[in-house]
Amino acid sequence: MKGLVYKSTGSWYKVRSHKGNFIVCRLKGKLRIKGLKVTNPVSVGDIVEIEMEKGKETGLISKIDTRKNYLIRKSVNLSKQYHIIASNIDQAVLVATVTQPNTLNEFIDRFLVSVTAYNIPAVILVNKLDVYEDEHLNRLADWNSIYTNAGYTILPISVEKEINLDKVKKLFKGKTTVLSGNSGVGKSSLLKKLLPNEEIAVKEISEMHQQGVHTTTFAEMYDLPNGGHLIDTPGIRGIGVVDIEPKELSNYFPEFLKLKPFCKFNNCVHINEPNCAVKKALDEGEIALSRYNSYLSIFNNDQEENYR
Ligand code: GDP
Ligand code: ZN
């Protein structure tokens, strides 16, 4: 019987069967995924084949369907292993704030590079609009033009004052959305608003944040009341950039990619080459300096920890 994985806690999986009931499952033997060294063979969002254990209420996962896509990050301690955050995703949403806390541009850009590299549409929700003063609104306007120009969706919201939440609901309807963001930006508050029937689960998540020790907590999927799924990623502050070749990096900055055909060299990395269309656009203010600086930092493999 087919099922959809809603949660994994290492050895146990919460799977919704095609009949609609939840079944606690284990893996049947060792499931291996070709070509990818992962710490978790099954992730939230996976479609799996399950068999009921004889005489029990529990099930066994015997097969994982081919994934449409997935997001991964490097495992915290095992640098050559990966952790699959979630699979079969329609869009990735980053909750950011101009103030309380101040989300760094580079943090946003690293998020965008990773999801863009996996071909997953990205949305930035800028929360706490209700407390923004002039300087914050200026920065919001900058973000708005930078990220709209780059081809991403950006929407200012206030979870507390319920500004633009109808648009958020529309954006999420019928889709599987991964929600990400630094702690303090209002991600749990947003979940609570969108999932009025999941109070207990959301409370658990915010308690985890306060403890701050659950660095390897697993993602969990929730059903949205009007169709679609939300995947929360507690403890995963950034999706991060994993294994992108420096020479390919500019492909994941859409506004750079558009200009690449106009660079003199077809393998231009837009740093020291002459007649580079990206550098020219930067000089002319058509490409944002913050985007270019993020590009350089990721290109030079600067440590991600500095930008959280
Ligand atoms: P999380 O760490 O991202 O899950 O953030 P929380 O949902 O726990 O929110 C962090 C703090 O920001 C809490 O004190 C919330 O009450 C507050 N907060 C959340 N949304 C808003 C908002 O739209 N406006 C304001 N002013 N505060 C908010
Ligand atoms: Zn170039």
- For residue 127, the ligand 1 atom closest to its alpha carbon is 23
* Average confidence (pLDDT) over 288-307: 83
Instruction: Kindly state the percentage of the chain with pLDDT values over 70.
Output: 85
pLDDT of residue 212: 43
Query: Rounded to two decimals, what is the model's pTM?
Result: 0.90
Give the residue from 270, 269, 299 showing the smallest Cα distance to 113.
299
Q: How far is the CA of 188 from the centre of ligand 1 (A)?
A: 7
- Any residues with Cβ below 6 Å from ligand 1, and which? 127-128, 130-131, 158-160, 181, 183-189, 206, 209
pLDDT of residue 215: 43
Q: Which two tokens stand for residue 230?
A: 């939300």
Instruction: Kindly state the percentage of the chain with pLDDT values over 90.
Output: 72
- For residue 189, the ligand 1 atom closest to its alpha carbon is 7
Give the residue from 138, 114, 144, 113 showing the smallest Cα distance to 126.
144
Give the residue from 229, 219, 207, 130 showing the smallest Cα distance to 180.
219
Closest listed ligand to the CA of 103: 1
* Average confidence (pLDDT) over 128-134: 98
Q: How confident is the model at residue 203 (pLDDT cuts 50, 70, 90)?
A: very low
The Cα–Cα gap between 91 and 84 comes to: 16
Q: How confident is the model at residue 213 (pLDDT cuts 50, 70, 90)?
A: very low
Res 17 pLDDT > 80: yes
Res 129 pLDDT > 50: yes
Q: How far is the CA of 287 from the centre of ligand 2 (A)?
A: 12
> What is the three-class DSSP state of 94?
strand
b/e per residue 72-102 (b: at least 16 CB within 10 A): bbbbeeeeeebbbbbbbbbbbbbbbbbeeee
> 158-195, pLDDT tens digit by residue?
999 999 999 999 999 999 999 999 889 999 999 999 99
Smallest CA separation from ligand 1 atom 15, residue: 186
* Average confidence (pLDDT) over 51-61: 94
Closest listed ligand to the CA of 266: 2
**Which ranges of the chain does DSSP label H, i.e. alpha helix?**
105-117, 134-149, 165-172, 187-194, 199-211, 254-257, 277-283, 289-299
Res 275 pLDDT > 50: yes
Dihedral sign from CA coordinates of 258, 262, 266, 267: negative
Q: How far is the CA of 294 from the centre of ligand 1 (A)?
A: 27
pLDDT of residue 140: 98
The Cα–Cα gap between 125 and 213 comes to: 26
* Average confidence (pLDDT) over 30-51: 82
> How many other CB atoms sit within 10 Å of the CB of residue 105?
21
Residue 307: partners with Cβ closer than 8 Å, 6 or more residues away? 104, 106, 107, 110, 238, 297
